[in-house]
Structure 1
Amino acid sequence: MTFRPVKATSEGQFTIEGAGVNLYRAFGFHKPREFDPFLLFDDFRNDDPKKFEKGFPWHPHRGIETITYVLDGEVEHGDSLGNKGVLGKGSVQWMTAGSGIMHQEMPRGNAAGQMHGFQLWANLPSSLKMTAPRYQDIQGSDIPEIIDDDGTKVKIVTGSFWGKRGPVDGIAADPLYLDVSVPPNTRKVLPVDTYANTFAYIFAGSASFRDASTPYGVRVEKEVNGEEVNIRDMSGNRTLVNFDTGNEIVVNSGPDGVRFLLISGQPIKEPVAWHGPIVMNTREELMQAFNELNNGTFIKDQRDH
């Protein structure tokens, strides 16, 4: 087994999208090769409906897939193909925009006005940029959860893990998307594909990602009154952890445990021409997409049955 070292960590940056949705962006619109095949990752959580209720009104997508995972509250969606639905607590929507779609996403808080969810954009290879759009809506009750002997819980949205497979399938990037909860002060080893680009996003608690040579991430930081003080090398809420290559990740949870998303996918290694919600391979394809958007030919007459 080869331990994956941490390549970089960063904090989600506050931004406003749609018609005024307050969110934190872990990455996006810069250095697309760094997270290939993934393009963007947003964390939208708030307990003030005024900061999210205007949502994401009608807008186009082409050349990508969007993955929406709702932890709390709801997201009502509709599109140009006539699809409508509501994503409830714990549910997932995997939308393949393909050749082009117009849609809207309108978040609603729970009874206490709270909303929490994530959206990930995955690139499509050139051979599938113009594929027929499709949706996969998965209820939270259909997402398998494994509870290990030490209390670690893993929800498998897509991909195979510990002998079980997630319900979302037929995805071009063939990703692994896990929701992982590790109890306090626990060391956990999680297997991943050696060469898939992999990142973790911590959204509750804290953890370090270290190998066995530095258990629980403890290191000597400084001296206080002549005595050494050991400080955990921890990452916490809204922290993105980007890993190097290897086939296992070692998690050392903090005193309150940790909950994070673990996501990996095989890089596409193709040129990226990207502007706003449309991602193609060349500038010419990008210009064609926007020309079609302007002249009313953006939506193609094809559906996935």
Structure 2
Amino acid sequence: MQKFTSNRSSDVGVRSVKRVVAGHPSADGAGVKIHRVAGFQSPDFSPFLMIDEIRSENPDDYIAGFPPHPHRGIETLTLMLSGEFEHKDHLGNRGAIRQGGAQWMRAGRGIIHSEMPSQGEGGMHGFQLWINMAAKDKMNKPQWRDIQPEEVRELALDDAGSRARLIAGEWQIGGEPVSAPLLDAASRASVADIRIAPGAKVDLALPVEHTVLAYIYAGALDTEYGAIKGGNVVLYEKGESLQLRASDTAPEQGAGLLLLHGLPLNEPVVHYGPFVMNTRDQIEQAVRDYNNGTLTD
């Protein structure tokens, strides 16, 4: 759901807000309750496709998890702020991520995996991002890796306590280039967990040609259109830098957000369930391959 649209353009300088897209309650897997923002058909999102947030203190909302299911043509990045999830796939990969960790999966031509909570009590708060793959890479072999909490780079953004936890890609922090632990994500996708201290403002330099979006999950972000609260994605115009300011509407919280940037693909997107390809024929082939057991061959 689009809340507003700006016609302003900024090829250089500070990025202005282009539009805000509101998430909506949904369910996936074996009935896991999620909050979803999808941008499959929006060039503004590319190379990102979807953001799911899982957030509940009630095990009934998430304990059934995501039993074995297929994917083709995408990458996923799962981040946990609290709780634990375990990944298993047909290749024999298996690993659990705990609070502060992440998992990256490249489906490529085909993978069958499960993602199941490995603890029932204590609540669950995490995210899964879908990242599109270029047409030339969609049939590459699948890959997977864990990113343990101690691998994540955490850096100060100011003297007020604002911090960035770098999960994927390349960043400029304090004028210096910094690499996150995951550098293999498609389309030079970069992902960070940003915590802005109450009343603080941070400035980040980002590649001008990259799509930039922020998913707010705590507090509120102050913009030229007012305070944007949790559960929404802010999409930005082109520009050389980005300013993020915690809103005064949540002075005790500041703001928590996932900041994403990546090189747009500018390719057709055809999406059906767990498959994301470039044509309807390719989607139909993926369905046939899964039904006849050759998706992962």
Q: Same fold (TM over 0.5)?
A: yes
- The Cα of 1:187 is off from its aligned counterpart by 2.0
Q: Deviations over 1:31-71 (max 9, x none)?
A: 24231111111111111000110011111000110010111
Instruction: Note if contact 1:32-1:38 (Cα within 8 Å) is conserved in structure 2.
Output: no
Equivalent position of 1:43 in the other structure: 53
Q: Deviations over 1:235-254 (max 9, x none)?
A: 12212111111121112212
For the pair 1:172 / 2:186, whether they are aligned, the reply is yes
Q: Distance in 1 between matches of 2:75 and 2:21?
A: 24
Runs of 5+ consecutive residues of structure 2 not aligned to the other structure? 1-11
Q: Could you say what secondary structure the match of 1:234 adopts?
A: strand
1:143 to 137, 152, 155: 152
Instruction: Note if contact 2:216-2:255 (Cα within 8 Å) is conserved in structure 1.
Output: yes
Equivalent position of 2:245 in the other structure: 252
- The Cα of 1:123 is off from its aligned counterpart by 0.7
Q: Distance in 2 between matches of 1:6 and 1:97?
A: 32
For the pair 1:276 / 2:268, whether they are aligned, the reply is no
Equivalent position of 2:138 in the other structure: 129
For the pair 1:61 / 2:71, whether they are aligned, the reply is yes
Runs of 5+ consecutive residues of structure 1 not aligned to the other structure? 211-216, 218-232, 301-305
For the pair 1:15 / 2:26, whether they are aligned, the reply is yes
Equivalent position of 2:219 in the other structure: 205
Q: TM-score, normalised by structure 1?
A: 0.87
Q: Which one is further off, 64-73 or 3-12? A: 3-12
Q: Distance in 1 between matches of 2:194 and 2:109?
A: 33
Q: Could you say what secondary structure the match of 1:135 adopts?
A: strand
Instruction: Note if contact 1:4-1:243 (Cα within 8 Å) is conserved in structure 2.
Output: yes
Q: Distance in 2 between matches of 1:159 and 1:292?
A: 32
2:163 to 153, 159, 163: 153
Q: TM-score, normalised by structure 2?
A: 0.89
For the aligned residue pairs, the C-alpha RMSD in angstroms reads 1.5
1:52 to 35, 58, 62: 62
- The Cα of 1:74 is off from its aligned counterpart by 0.4
- The Cα of 1:160 is off from its aligned counterpart by 2.2
Equivalent position of 1:78 in the other structure: 88
Larger Rg computed on CA atoms? 1
- The Cα of 1:110 is off from its aligned counterpart by 6.6
Instruction: Note if contact 1:79-1:103 (Cα within 8 Å) is conserved in structure 2.
Output: yes
State the identity %.
Answer: 38
